[in-house]
Structures are given as C-alpha cells and as structure tokens.
Chain A
C-alpha cells in the first residue's frame, strides 16, 4: 500500500488511472467485497498470531509426549484425565477461587472510586484519571519487586509494625495467599475502575435529578436508578478483571509460595521446565474452556439482567 500512497498526486486533468479507481472503490465501501478486502490484513494477522496458535494448542492437548519435548501425534484423552486428576484439580479450583475473590474485591474497592470520579471529582477528574492510568501502565514486574520490599519478612511493613510495637516478631506476609491476592487486586483494579467509570459517565444526569424530584432519597436513587444503569460497566469490569487473573503467573511466582501455585504457573512449568507440551496444552485448554464457558454464562446472565433493568 505504501508505494501506492506515494503515487503522483497531481490528477488535475482528472484522468483517473485504474489504480486510483480501484483505491476509490476500496475507500467508497458500497461493495461488501471492498469491506472484506480492507479487513483481510487484520483478519490474517489474527489468524496467524492468535487463532492458529490456539487451535494448535487444542490439537496438541490430544497428542502424546515424546522424548526431548517432542510430540507424538496419537489421539488420546490421557492429558485431560491427568489435568483433572485430584492433584491438579486443586490448582484449578484454587486459581478460580483467587480470581473470583480478586474480582469481588476489585468491585468493592473500584465501584466507590469510579462513582466518586464520575459524580464528585469535578474539574480534577481528568488529572485523577491520568493518575489512575500511570500505575496501570507501569511494568508489573517492577511493582512486584516493590511489593517484595514492602511485604518481606524484614520488609517495610514488618519493620514499621515492629517499631510501633504492634507486633513482637515479624509476621509472615509474603508468600501467603494474602500477598498473592493483594498483588492481583493491585494489578487488576484499574481494569475494573475504567469500564465502571465509563458506564457511570454515560448515565444522563437528568435521570438522577428526576428521581430526586419525584421524591426518592439518595439511597433509593442509587439502588433504583444509578446501579441498574451502571450494570453494563459492572459486567465488563468483572470480565476484564477475571480473565487476566485466571492466567496470571508472575504474581504467584514472586509474591506466592508453593501453596499458592496457580494454573498459570503450572502451564509455564510444563512448557519451559518439564517440557511436557501435550500436558501443558491440556492444562491450557482446560483453562481456556472454563474461561469461555464462564464468560458465556456470564453474558447470558448479563442480558437477562439488562432486560429486567
């Protein structure tokens, strides 16, 4: 395309060349084929870098492990049976539990925050939004490193508490479920706040005034007007928080211990350490399928809820 863009631009004589006619056809977009043609590059890209890789993963989950991380293409369900074995099922359930708690906590912490930003922040709103984006775009490795400094056995938090005399011996904070969930909430809170904020922004303020005019109190207005109208944001925020939580492995690797091993760690381990790719693929497929069914069920729930509202 680049070379065509650089084509001579003085068509003062209006002798449209065939190249230019073709480009005009493409840009005009009355013909569905032109639309498809313009969408081909992105589609091919997603096909090569997303759909085929995921499909190959699903296929590999049915194969057998060969020597030296090779793969023998025989059809078997053994990897799935192993992935749902009680030894690994614990990890799956733990991951789902952590992801659900993180999502819940993010909603509890994020909703008041988004509500404040949208309704009370006034002129400072833009500055506050930028301030929210900076931690969101900071490399999560760096933040993890700081949390280690804060939460460690001889870390800032323990030192402060010892100095204040609140505790006599350092607490074990790092490498516990608490520190992992804290890390997850830290990383994914902005994923919750941003969609909540944008759906609160879309609520016409006249609706709320009307509710007050008709005699409803603050709480009644919130429950009956604001909250139902903000539901799309709640749903979007929950999905955007839950999905990356399910696949997270860095947080558990650095802030957690052996008791907080998550699916992400298992997948990473199978692909990079144990070199059992078919089993790793099966675990990833379990992760993916549970995620897809979860999101699907959630969307069904969402549409029902929205119809009711």
Chain B
C-alpha cells in the first residue's frame, strides 16, 4: 500500500488528543502543589502518601476482590453459554439467546444501575459484596462470551475432539481433556477483560454498592467531589500501569493462541 502523509498526520493528532489527559495526569502526579493547576516543583510525596492512605488501600483490596469474583462468574457463565452456542447442533431459540447475551452492551449503565438499585431494595435483597459482584459479572458477560466463542469456533475446524473420541474417549473426556485445555488461554483472556471491566466500573457500583463497600472508582469520585487532592494523579498513574499490564498480557495471550 502507498503512503498517505495527510492521513498519518491526522491520526497523530487524534492520538495526541487521546493521550493529552494521560500525559497531564502523569506530569502533575509529580507536582509539588496542593492546587493542581500551576507547576511548583518536582516531588514524589504523593506516591509516598498513597501507600500510607489506609482508606485507599482498603478500597484497592475491595476492588480487586470484586474483580476476581466477577471475572470468575463471568468466565464460567460465558464458557457454558458460548459452548452451547457454537458447538451444539443448531437448535430453536439460539437467536433469542444470542440477542439476550448482547443486551448488557446495548443498555446505558445508568439504566442498569438504577434498575438494580430499585429491584434489590424493593425485593429486600441486601446490597452487599455478592450482589455487586453479580452485577459486574452480568456487565462483563458479553466480553467473556465473545472471547471464548471465537476460540471455540476456531477449534471446531481442528477436529481434535473427533480424534480423541476415535481413540476411545467419551464426549465428556474429549471435552475436559482436549477442548478445555485448548480453550484455556481464551477463557483466561476473557476473564482478564472481565476483570478490567469490573475494576474500572463506576456507574453500577455507584448505585448499588451498599454502605461500607468502597471501590477504587467510588473513592476517586468522592475525592474529586469533596476536596481535591493531588494524590488522585499519582493514584491514576498506578492504576494506568495496572491496566496496561492487564491489557498487554491479554493481547499476548490472544496472539499466542492464534499462533498455537
């Protein structure tokens, strides 16, 4: 393909636009000033005070626990659902299930948030860690399902299970000794996506996190709302690093999966 200078510079501008806030955040995380607009000097103290902020650390632990629970639920549900959708003989109602599974992507989060809040409160279901984890799993389900579905479809052509069954394995043995290990990386990469979805989620948690459950985004929200502290930038840089690591490992998994 030929080069296109105009388009390339346009894209550079878009990338600059996308990275401008991240760059500002990074630079200002070293700013030695309480008011965040003027540059006063270089400091590491905000990073230092992050690790002594007990509230922040406990919010981090809660967010991690939540993300682990949600990604576990979402990957198990996504595995069963996408297995039936891709590997089973076509059955009546498959289209209905398929569109049902994509509903969470088509629903503004604020609608899910207030819906869950009013439903749980009216049905006298306590708002606790598990209801929040369940809601996060629901939001993440389309991500895990599509990741696993892609892998199961590509495995379908390899007919390795047929070979296993020709060699005397039952269907179940072929599933958990052949299919499951081969789909493993895709399941894990779907789980990483779900983890990220849950980790970043603010809107749903904002509405249905019960009293006493403070996740990282909720903590950041209240820091922004009541009393700005420059710690936010330092915190955001750490979170960004975590996100990059998660995404990079997910990408690596997908690539390894494609080459194997």
Contacts and interface: CB of A to CB of B under 8 A. Distances in A.
Contacts of A250: 202-203
Interface stretch (A43-51, A83-91, A227-235, A300-308): A43-51
B87 interface: yes
B150 interface: no
A246 interface: yes
A36 interface: yes
Contact of B118 (A142, A149, A281): A281
Contact of A150 (B21, B94, B172, B248): B21
Nearest to B26: A146
Contacts of A28: 171
B74 to A, nearest CB: 9
Interface string B219-260: 011001000000011001001100110011001000000000
Interface residues of B, number: 94
Given A250-B202, A254-B224, A142 B17 contact: no
Contacts of B38: 154
B110 A247 contact: yes
Contact of B89 (A30, A142, A248, A281): A30
Contacts of B73: 45
Interface in B5-36: 7-8, 10-11, 14-15, 17-22, 24-25, 28, 36
Given A46-B104, A243-B106, A27 B24 contact: no
A120 interface: yes
B60 interface: no
B134 interface: yes
Contacts of A52: 119
Contacts of A5: 176
Contacts of B20: 146, 150
A57 B119 contact: yes
Contacts of A248: 108, 110
B135 interface: yes
Interface string A123-136: 00000101111110
A287 B114 CA distance: 12
A281 B114 contact: yes
Given A39-B97, A150-B21, A57 B8 contact: no
A210 B101 CA distance: 39
B25 A142 contact: yes
Interface string A231-261: 0000000011001101111100010000000
Contacts of A163: none
A46 B138 contact: yes
Contacts of A189: 14, 18
A45 B140 CA distance: 12
B253 to A, nearest CB: 13
Given A132-B18, A139-B200, A49 B118 contact: no
Contacts of A287: 108, 111
Contacts of A184: none
> Which range contains the number of A residues in contact with the other chain?
35 or more
Contacts of B168: 14
B5 to A, nearest CB: 10
B170 interface: yes
Contact of B236 (A34, A35, A38, A142): A142
Contacts of A32: 89, 91-92
A130 B7 CA distance: 19
Nearest to B135: A49
A189 B13 CA distance: 13
Interface of B: 1-4, 7-8, 10-11, 14-15, 17-22, 24-25, 28, 36-38, 73, 76-78, 80-81, 83-85, 87-89, 91-94, 97, 100-101, 103-112, 114-120, 122-123, 134-135, 137-138, 141, 145, 168, 170-176, 196, 200, 202-203, 207, 216-217, 220-221, 224, 232-233, 236, 239-240, 243-244, 247-248, 251
Given A46-B141, A50-B138, 8 more contacts: A23-B175, A38-B80, A38-B88, A51-B103, A57-B115, A112-B11, A141-B220, A146-B25
19 contacts: A20-B170, A23-B172, A27-B175, A28-B171, A45-B134, A46-B104, A56-B119, A109-B14, A112-B10, A112-B11, A120-B1, A134-B247, A135-B21, A141-B224, A143-B22, A156-B37, A239-B106, A267-B110, A272-B207
